[in-house]
Chains A and B, each alone.
Chain A
Amino acid sequence: MNKTKAKIFLVDDHPLVREWLTNLIHQQPDLVVCGESEDAPDALQQISAIKPDVAIVDISIKQGSGIELIKNLKAGHPDLAMIVLSMHDERLYAERALRAGARGYIMKSETAKKVITAIRQVLAGKIYMSESITAAFAEKFVDGRLPSGGSLVEKLSDRELEVFQLLGKGYETRQVAEMMMVSMKTVQAHCAHIKEKLKLTNAAELLREAVRWQENHPAS
């Protein structure tokens, strides 16, 4: 019987959450919890042995970060679907978690009602995000704020693209100015133009776009 059930692995440092998440999952006829862990090294070891279908990972866990764990799991187990379950603000972490390799992001305050739906969705090969984050992503897409590589290069001047790429590589404004041998004011002016052209509302968004673009175009 168990063989037909999808195996779920839990990584969370709070025992009460693990206990009742297990109870909730066990109540579903098609799901079973195959193991649990409260820190990253143990989780990596157990998951390699058990080979679950889905891992539910908290961002803040004992020893190590959940995001790093997801990156490691993604590298070692490309077929494993991962859902991030976190108390942290989804606007800050959802995109980061998805970029790291997660297929879903749930805020803990919405877990009870959403977690089973999320598990089924990722098992079906889809991505699960909250409505507000999905809406925010969709809006960006419609506004053309999620430009493809080609259109981005067309939109930005050479210098702007250089700033954008350096920011994406993790350099700070000051370092970008040094590397391009221009003043901070010039870099800031470039940033303002990039934001305008890509319809980004703030510098944090600019940074995120730059990092995202850089990850998709590592050769550039």
Chain B
Amino acid sequence: MLGFIKQLEDRSRFGLIVLAFVIIAVIGWVDYLTGYEISFSVFYLLSVALAVWFVGKWFGVLVSALSVAVWVVGDFASGARFANPLVPIWNALVVLTFYLVVVWLLANLRSFHQNLELQVRQRTRALTEEIAERERLERELLEISEREQRRIGQDLHDGLCQHLTGATLAGQVLEEKLAARGLPETTDASRVVEIVEEGINLSRRLAKGLYPVEMAADGLMLALEEFAATSSALFKVTCRFECDSPVLVHDTATAGHLYRIAQEAVRNAIKHGRAKNILIRLEAGETGNELSIRDDGTGLPDPLPKERGMGLRIMAHRSAMIGAKFEVRRGEPGGTVVTCEVKNVPVRETI
């Protein structure tokens, strides 16, 4: 029924006006043929309803009047006679009032329906915009946190570490001066240098956590290998890195995101999937480079808990930011497989 109404709504106004008249003519004709004893007044409502709903209130009023006229003329033509000439007028007025009430009701229903539709459309648009905005914000948040981490990492690496290097050199100068005078404090000065050197190593490790991939095209391979080794040692799992042929990632941001995706996938595998074996693969494919992380854990639960959904969404955002295809699926025979395929960028760098 709704489909039929929709179909009619799509027709032209002129066509519908003609249709309303045709219906009146047909019903009037049938009314005439069946004689005046059988009342057909209710069937004209079809034309009235059509006129109000699809054309407008005033056309509905016109069609109502026309219907009443056709009905009265039809009855007279088929031989109706009344003792009192006021009777047909009275009957016509009753039917007309009935039609006009229907016109009024339908017109109101129609405008109510239209308002509702308009509101639904507006709400849907607002909601779509809201979702797009939230996704944009999430992406921006990720970019900002990435940028800030990189900045802090670089500051640590290039600023603080250099400053501490200066301090170790100053300490060494002091140590040698003390040694030249044969003072026992020499060993203390030497110890100070060692302590500051340990500080440099600590800051470097910290910087590495914040900014893991070194700025060379083969940095990602090395970073992932080191990450696999560290994860194995730290979490008592077997985490391997496989890379058959060299995969060079020239864009530092891409390398950084791929690294973070691997990091998140491994963290999920250990924390949620209780995996014992994890394989990180970096492959050069025909159309691009593919990073995949497979584990033998419990796999993705269904439905996903909220916090895990967030982690997956961030991985997906990272992939979107580097124009990569991202997929998480159940592995064969078990566990989880996370893949991220980055399309080739036509850049070549000689090493």
Binary contact track B165-192/A, C-beta < 8 Å → 1, others 0: 1111111110011000000000000000
Contact bitstring A158-172, B, C-beta under 8 A = 1, else 0: 000000000101111
Does the CB pair B245–A14 fall under 8 Å?
no
- The answer for the CA separation of A66 and B345 in the assembled complex, in Å, is 27
A42 within 8 A of B: no
B157 touches A87 (CB 8 A): yes
Of the candidates B161, B197, B243, which one forms a contact with A202 in the assembled complex, judged by CB atoms under 8 Å apart? B243
Count contacts between A and B, CB distance < 8 Å.
133
| CB contact between A92 and one of B157, B201, B222, B351 (< 8 Å): that residue | B222
A16 to B193 Cα, complex, angstroms: 15
Hey, what's the 0/1 contact readout for B210-222 against A, CB within 8 Å counting as 1?
0000101011011
A204 interfacial by beta-carbon distance below 8 Å? yes
A177 to B204, CA, bound (A): 39
CA distance A112 to B193 in the complex (A): 8
| B residues near A171, Cβ cutoff 8 Å | 348
Indicate which residue in B158, B171, B204, B349 contacts A112 across the interface (CB closer than 8 Å). Answer: B171
A191 to B284, CA, bound (A): 12
Knowing A175-B348, A204-B218 are in contact, say whether A24-B225 is a contact too (CB < 8 A): no
Tally of chain B residues near chain A (CB < 8 A): 45
CB nearest neighbor in A for B159: A14
> Contact partner of B173 among A20, A170, A187, A188, CB < 8 A?
A20
Of A14, A108, A172, A174, the contact of B286 (CB 8 Å cutoff): A174
B179–chain A nearest beta-carbon distance, Å: 10
**A44 interfacial by beta-carbon distance below 8 Å:** no
**Size of interface on A: residues with Cβ below 8 Å to B:** 46
Contact A111 B165 (CB under 8 A): yes
Chain B residues whose C-beta falls within 8 Å of the C-beta of A148 in the assembled complex: none
Selected from A110, A184, A189, the residue in CB contact (under 8 A) with B285 is A184
Kindly state the separation between the CA atoms of A49 and B286 in the bound complex, as whole angstroms. Answer: 52
Residues of B within 8 A of A (CB): 157-158, 161-163, 165-173, 176-177, 193, 197, 200-201, 204, 214, 216, 218-219, 221-222, 225, 241, 243-248, 282-286, 344, 348-351
Residues of chain A having any CB pair with chain B under 8 Å: 14, 16-17, 19-21, 23-24, 27, 60, 87-89, 91-92, 108-113, 167, 169-177, 183-184, 187-192, 202-204, 206-208, 211
